[in-house]
Chains A and B, each alone.
Chain A
Amino acid sequence: QVLLQEAGPGLVQPSGTLSLTCTVSGGSIRSNYWTWLRQPPGKGLEWIGYVFHSGTPTYNPSLNSRVTISVDTSKKQFSLKMTSVTAADTAVYYCAGARAGDYVWGYFDNWGQGTLVTVSS
């Protein structure tokens, strides 16, 4: 059973950078496509992007210019950085794993518990 745990500041200043990490335990960091999603309070889910242990990350074009997702296999962690944040970026941020066969299967069978990030001064 793969376990995922998000970590990072719960409060970010407007125009600042949001930084989160997700630690993978109970499984291989090389087996899944590691993904970030978010959910504004009381609203629906938005896919942010994914990374494999090798290869180029793929991002949601709506966030592409502000987002970087990376993976550190030695630490069994993957990370999200989002720049120039505003109040609209306030959300619960989830890390998740997407399975893969001969291509990435973009459904998520493992999720972290989520972490609320509030953008406010």
Chain B
Amino acid sequence: DIVMTQSPDSLALSLGERATINCKSSQSVLYTSNYKDHLAWYQQKPGQPPKLLFYWASTRESGVPDRFSGSGSGTDFTLTISSLQAEDVAVYYCQQYYTTPWTFGQGTKVEIK
């Protein structure tokens, strides 16, 4: 199985600050046949299902604010929130869909300081 490791486990920032979440896969999730990274990011608020933020590592899902960005390739990926808002308090997960079993990172909890 591909192991997804996120860092940090949690972070607390002030409103307006930049949040950076890292995700590392135990093997590359880049398909060389189409040069697409099979990596997604989700946001989960308490009591709600996860919400898709990005797929193909950096393709923003419709309706996701542009203060969110996804980057990286191969084994190292980053989710960035350029200016943290109160409504961004949530747990964020990365997920690889390069090969089954599809696997998730352990989650990063983002809070307001």
Contact = CB atoms under 8 A, between A and B. Distances in A.
Interface of A: 44-47, 58, 60-62, 94, 96, 98, 105-109, 111-114
16 contacts: A45-B50, A45-B95, A46-B104, A47-B101, A47-B104, A60-B101, A98-B97, A106-B102, A107-B40, A108-B42, A109-B52, A109-B55, A111-B50, A111-B51, A113-B48, A114-B49
Contacts, number: 51
A109 B101 CA distance: 18
Closest 4 CB pairs of A and B: A106-B97, A111-B49, A107-B40, A107-B55
Query: Chain A's interface: helix, strand, loop or mixed, by majority?
Result: strand
Interface in B45-61: 48-52, 55, 61
Interface of B: 38, 40, 42, 48-52, 55, 61, 93, 95, 97, 100-107
A106 to B, nearest CB: 3
Contact of A105 (B51, B97, B106): B97
Given A105-B97, A113-B48, 9 more contacts: A45-B93, A45-B95, A46-B104, A47-B102, A60-B100, A61-B101, A98-B97, A105-B38, A107-B55
